[in-house]
Amino acid sequence: MASRAANSVVRRLAHRNIDWSSPLFKGDPELAAAVSSFRGWAANAQAMAEQYNAAPTPVDFAKAKSAVRDQSLVDSLEALYKNNTPPAETYEWSAEAQADKATQIEDAKGRLAFTQEMIEDTEKEIVFMKNNRLNREMSV
């Protein structure tokens, strides 16, 4: 119950932090459609997360017995349901995949550093060009 309240608070805060009515999201029809699609997907994902967050309700076998003619079928399904304890599925992230992602992250950091350096150089060049602006009155 506490996690549902926490999820609700986080969702409301995130929704407040993003101004979906911003002209940025409405400038291009393709972008507006993509934003609308994303918002729909996010709302659907949130609804499904809330739906499947809680444990499932137990099966009402008494109701099924009253509705089905073959009582033995319901009895066998009930026995199977009560005796079955499937193991939890776990995913192990392989060392190879971790190493691959780590190299990708390092490459991205290197590209980011290069891009930042290029931005700084470009800003210096812009300042230089503004300070040494040519006009019609200047001669070479």
Neighbouring C-alpha atoms within 13 Å toward the C-beta of 92? 3
**Which pair of structure tokens corresponds to residue 81?**
């349901």
> What pLDDT is recorded for position 1?
47
Average pLDDT for consecutive 10-residue bins of the chain (140 residues)?
A: 60 65 79 88 89 84 88 91 87 93 94 94 93 76
Total-model pTM:
0.36
pLDDT of residue 58: 85
87 DSSP 8-state letter: P
